[in-house]
């Protein structure tokens, strides 16, 4: 079983909060970004690598590659798994990735989205994905940083 310490939804993927704060808080030694676009974009990968500590490895897989490879993770890999959207997280869970809790960090406001907290905005497709994850038994918390009090996203949907 892979050692997934934290799964986080953050549309910025790897940045300062993820690269330093969360990695240090949970003791991760690998940040795995599961995203179909970034998996094939070396420039975005290079930029994100700059935000990751030198002590942490990074991997960039498509959603399907993550599903296919996660169970081959070494026992000493302590994984922070990051996705952009709840739809990606749902695809991972439905694909057999053992995720029992998801931290929701940032989902930026855009046209058609409703702001539910200062850092999370969702539309009906997002709400549908969160409802399905909840049905599958996944705990869903909104929390930007480790010392912030977690909020159950289902209270806002």
The SS3 of residue 154 is: helix
Annotation says 15 is catalytic: yes
Residues 138 and 10: their CA atoms lie apart, in Å, by: 17
Which residue of the set 15, 25, 108, 134 is catalytic? 15
Which two tokens mark 35? Answer: 């995203």
In terms of Cα–Cα distance, which of 38, 11, 10, 8 is closest to 25?
Answer: 8
Q: How long, in residues, is the chain? A: 157
Residue 108 φ then ψ, to 5°: -60, 150
Antiparallel, parallel or unpaired: β 57-61 and 30-34 = parallel
Catalytic residue numbers, as ranges: 15
């Amino acid at each position: 079983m892979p050692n997934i310490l934290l799964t986080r939804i953050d549309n910025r993927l790897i940045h300062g909060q993820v690269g330093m704060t969360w990695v240090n808080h949970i003791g991760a030694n690998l940040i795995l970004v599961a995203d179909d676009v970034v998996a094939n974009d070396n420039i975005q990968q290079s930029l994100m690598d700059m935000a990751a500590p030198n002590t942490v490895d990074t991997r960039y897989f498509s959603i399907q590659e993550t599903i296919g490879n996660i169970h081959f993770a070494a026992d000493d890999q302590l994984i922070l798994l990051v996705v952009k959207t709840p739809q990606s997280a749902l695809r991972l869970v439905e694909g057999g990735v053992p995720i029992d809790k998801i931290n929701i960090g940032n989902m930026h406001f855009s046209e058609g989205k409703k702001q539910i907290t200062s850092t999370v905005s969702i539309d009906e497709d997002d709400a549908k994905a969160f409802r399905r994850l909840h049905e599958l038994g996944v705990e869903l918390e909104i929390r930007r940083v480790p010392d912030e009090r977690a909020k159950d996203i289902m209270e806002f949907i």
